[in-house]
């Protein structure tokens, strides 16, 4: 498994130190889907200091990063409430999260599930609704963060990571991302982490794959096939 990024190719040359052995429990499509989602989820949860006993809300819980964050947070011992469309609620339950539907009344529905309060919030949905709920749920804006709407993070006082961050990654943030693959590879090998590949496109249909991803309704991950 490679730590390379920004490539669409059938072959790529990668430094040996950027490689991690593929767990036998994963096929090659699932292994290809690990990189960015688990790196981003691991980076965000570590930055939020998610701990055992915390109540974590994940907006966009059924997407690639969302599913990774749900599973990693559950492994840490956190209770997870995740927002998603109703069609994806069963998947979230399978991963150990308590699902909540988007739409009017979202904040009230989350508060009804967590009357004692929410400790941390991760936005992987990138909607105004998710951001407003995120800020309203936590007692400190730094206990919430987004991977999508980083341009709004400074005004809201929340954190931002990955492609959603409007500033370069620090060495510490890069280290957190690099640490993620071996951590998750171990969880996969132990049978306590799943990777869902929902759509597969041949490499020559990369434009269609990109449009599917940009639509923002994909459950799990999209994989390009050589």
Band of pLDDT at residue 210, cut at 50, 70 and 90: confident
Kindly tell me if the per-residue pLDDT of 168 is higher than 60. yes
Band of pLDDT at residue 224, cut at 50, 70 and 90: confident
Q: Tokens representing 130?
A: 């998710």
Q: Listing from the earlier edge strand, what are the strands of the sheet with 159-160?
A: 98-101, 79-84, 55-59, 120-123, 144-146, 159-160
Contact predicate 12/4, CB 8 Å: yes
User: Model confidence over 59-115: pLDDT tens digits?
Assistant: 999 999 999 999 999 999 999 999 999 999 999 999 999 999 999 999 999 999 999
Band of pLDDT at residue 163, cut at 50, 70 and 90: low
pTM, to two decimals:
0.87
Alpha carbon of 203 to those of 9, 99, 181, 182: distances in Å? 8, 34, 24, 27
The residues with which 123 forms a beta bridge, in sequence order, are 59, 146
Give the pLDDT score at 7.
Answer: 66
Separation CA 173–CA 177 (nearest Å): 6
Angle at alpha carbon of residue 22, lines to 36 and 184, rounded to 5°: 50
Distance of CA 202 to the CA centre of its chain: 24
Higher pLDDT, 30 or 87: 87
Across the range 178-207, mean pLDDT stands at 86
Q: Tokens representing 36?
A: 């960015």
User: Model confidence over 108-140: pLDDT tens digits?
Assistant: 999 999 999 999 999 999 999 999 999 999 999
- Average pLDDT over all residues of the chain: 89
Residue 146: how many other CB atoms lie within 10 Å? 29
- What SS3 state is found at 96? coil
DSSP string, 149-188: -GGGHHHHT-EE-GGG-SSPPPHHHHHHHHHHHHHHHHHH
Band of pLDDT at residue 157, cut at 50, 70 and 90: very high
């Amino acid at each position: 498994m490679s730590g390379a990024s920004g490539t669409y190719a059938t072959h790529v040359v990668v430094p040996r130190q950027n490689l991690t052995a593929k767990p036998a429990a994963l096929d090659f499509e699932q292994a290809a889907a690990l990189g960015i989602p688990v790196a981003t989820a691991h980076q965000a949860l570590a930055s939020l200091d998610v701990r055992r006993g915390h109540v974590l809300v994940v907006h966009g819980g059924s997407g690639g990063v969302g599913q990774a964050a749900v599973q990693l947070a559950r492994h840490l011992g956190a209770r997870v409430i995740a927002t998603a469309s109703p069609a994806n609620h069963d998947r979230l339950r399978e991963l150990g999260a308590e699902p909540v539907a988007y739409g009017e009344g979202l904040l009230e529905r989350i508060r009804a599930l967590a009357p004692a309060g929410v400790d941390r919030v991760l936005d992987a949905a990138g909607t105004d609704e998710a951001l407003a709920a995120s800020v309203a749920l936590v007692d400190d804006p730094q206990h919430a963060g987004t991977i999508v709407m980083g341009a709004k993070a400074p005004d809201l006082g929340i954190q931002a990571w990955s492609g959603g961050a409007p500033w370069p990654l620090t060495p510490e943030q890069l280290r957190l991302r690099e640490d993620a693959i071996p951590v998750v590879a171990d969880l996969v090998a132990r049978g306590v982490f799943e990777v869902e590949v929902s759509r597969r496109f041949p490499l020559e249909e990369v434009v269609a794959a990109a449009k599917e991803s940009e639509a923002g309704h994909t459950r799990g991950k999209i994989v390009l096939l050589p």
